[in-house]
């Protein structure tokens, strides 16, 4: 599939934002985060800004962005619509959580409820985003059991590194979150390795023989394609990335993104003051950059079964 920048930005930005929001809600509910008003407001505003920027960017991939509101009416049958509804609902408990952080004396008793509601809705929204792709049975690289865990784990991992960076910038204790962030990136790398192994060793059940209905006659060979020029299907659904480039980009995501991010966060544990904050921020940036590369591959390596009509031997 053609890897549109708007969708890549949407999935990375909103994933990190919802991951951060889920962690702020859950950890805040159990008292594991600083009660400092400035920290709480800054963290929640950053999470919602990332979410909002991602959601807005997703509309740029639509042919008619002004009609995006109509998607909300199809929640009974569309994961895209469910994602839209869940994303809007999430703003309610997130704003309530911020209010509880700002006015703890008046609203503090509602903090845990707002925190857990924010965490649950953030994860539900990421799940709905993943299911948009997981539900497309015509694309083998998306319709598999690794897609939903990948979105959830990557969202939480990037949320952890940004939470770690925020804690370091505010001079708060970071040890537990730093360790969790490193393990989160390890989990993200493990999930992506498993996903890549799956798409490399399996293929869609459809074949050129089944697609044309000529399987009983033997192996199908195409004399020429259905079109003599490039068209929408070839540009959008027949996008191809060379195998050697895919392998190189996978290594960049794992080593230059996640492993480098783990190293920066780990080095930050032994630093203090501005050095710790700088390394924590560097780790967050590297991990996010690695996720951008990973997400580009997620779209670029996907093959629609329609390509079987254009000479592809597998999908």
pLDDT digits (tens, 9 = 90+) for 140-174: 899 999 999 999 999 999 999 999 999 999 999 88
91-105: burial string, b at 16+ Cβ within 10 Å, e else: eebbebbbbbbeeee
The confidence band for 4, taking pLDDT boundaries of 50, 70 and 90, is confident
Does residue 236 register a pLDDT over 90?
no
Does residue 237 register a pLDDT over 90?
no
Radius of gyration of the chain (CA): 22
Does residue 296 register a pLDDT over 80?
yes
Q: What percent of the chain has pLDDT over 70?
A: 85
Locate tokens 């779209």: which residue? 299
| Selected residue with higher pLDDT from 250 and 308 | 250
Locate tokens 């998306």: which residue? 142
137 CB-near residues (< 8 Å, 6+ apart): 143
| Selected residue with higher pLDDT from 307 and 291 | 291
Q: What is the pLDDT of residue 175?
A: 93
Between CA 280 and CA 167 the distance in angstroms is 9
Is the pTM higher than 0.85? yes
Tokens (6 digits) for 285? 């940036």
Q: Which of 42, 57, 49 is nearest to 10 (CA)?
A: 57
Does residue 311 register a pLDDT over 70?
no
- For residue 227, the SS3 value is coil
């Amino acid at each position: 599939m053609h890897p549109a920048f708007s969708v890549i930005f949407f999935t990375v930005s909103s994933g990190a934002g919802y991951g951060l929001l889920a962690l702020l809600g859950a950890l805040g509910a159990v008292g594991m985060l600083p009660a400092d008003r400035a920290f709480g407001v800054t963290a929640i505003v950053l999470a919602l800004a990332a979410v909002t920027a991602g959601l807005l960017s997703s509309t740029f991939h639509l042919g008619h962005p002004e009609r995006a509101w109509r998607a909300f009416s199809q929640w009974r049958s569309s994961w895209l619509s469910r994602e839209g509804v869940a994303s809007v609902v999430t703003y309610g408990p997130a704003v309530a959580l911020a209010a509880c952080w700002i006015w703890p004396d008046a609203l503090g008793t509602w903090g845990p409820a707002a925190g857990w509601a924010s965490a649950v809705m953030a994860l539900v929204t990421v799940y709905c985003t993943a299911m948009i792709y997981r539900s497309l049975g015509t694309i083998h690289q998306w319709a598999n059991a690794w897609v939903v865990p990948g979105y959830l784990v990557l969202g939480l991992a990037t949320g952890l590194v940004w939470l770690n960076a925020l804690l370091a910038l505010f001079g708060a204790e970071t040890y537990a979150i730093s360790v969790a962030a490193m393990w989160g990136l390890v989990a993200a790398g493990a999930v992506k390795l498993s996903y890549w192994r799956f798409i490399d060793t399996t293929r869609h059940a459809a074949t050129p023989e089944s697609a044309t209905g000529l399987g009983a006659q033997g192996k199908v060979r195409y004399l020429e394609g259905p079109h003599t020029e490039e068209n929408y299907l070839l540009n959008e659904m027949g996008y191809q990335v060379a195998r050697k480039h895919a392998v190189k980009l996978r290594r960049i995501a794992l080593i230059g993104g996640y492993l480098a991010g783990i190293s920066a966060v780990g080095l930050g544990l032994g630093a203090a003051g501005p050095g710790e904050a700088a390394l924590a921020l560097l780790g967050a940036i590297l991990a996010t950059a690695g996720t951008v590369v990973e997400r580009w591959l997620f779209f670029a390596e996907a093959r629609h079964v329609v390509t079987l009509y254009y000479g592809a031997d597998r999908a």
